[in-house]
């Protein structure tokens, strides 16, 4: 599912125009981005937590030349799913279960 699919799903669920669903999805995503920038984390109960993490500078290696170089410090965002999301089966798990029952 991509953002367009999500907008379609929200529009269908709301029973309103697609443009309103698109604005709602965009508003939620913008709010999550702003929250992570401002507070360092955003927790959506029942869904998960987005959290900003800092990576220290570290040594690395250019895979083409083998040259050692310094990878600069950076920030990234991680996501920890809520327990409800952790219970969702991956396609490979459901295929293994179906194969085992045959």
How crowded is residue 59: how many other Cβ atoms within 10 Å of its Cβ? 8
Asked whether the whole model's pTM tops 0.85, one would answer: no
pLDDT, one tens digit per residue, over 72-102 is 999 999 999 999 888 877 666 544 454 455 5
Residue 88 half-sphere exposure toward CB, CA atoms < 13 A: 8
pLDDT, one tens digit per residue, over 8-54 is 999 999 998 999 999 999 999 999 999 999 999 999 999 999 999 99
Give the burial class of 63: count Cβ atoms within 10 A of its Cβ; 0-12 exposed, 13-18 middle, 19 or more buried. exposed
């Amino acid at each position: 599912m991509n953002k367009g699919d999500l907008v379609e799903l929200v529009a269908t669920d709301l029973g309103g125009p697609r443009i309103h669903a698109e604005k709602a999805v965009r508003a939620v995503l913008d709010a999550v981005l702003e929250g992570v920038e401002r507070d360092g984390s955003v927790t959506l109960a029942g869904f998960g937590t987005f959290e900003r993490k800092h990576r220290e500078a570290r040594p690395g290696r250019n895979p083409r030349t083998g040259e050692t170089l310094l990878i600069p410090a950076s920030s990234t965002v991680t996501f920890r799913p809520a327990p409800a999301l952790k219970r969702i089966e991956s396609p490979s798990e459901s295929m293994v279960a179906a194969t085992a029952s045959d």
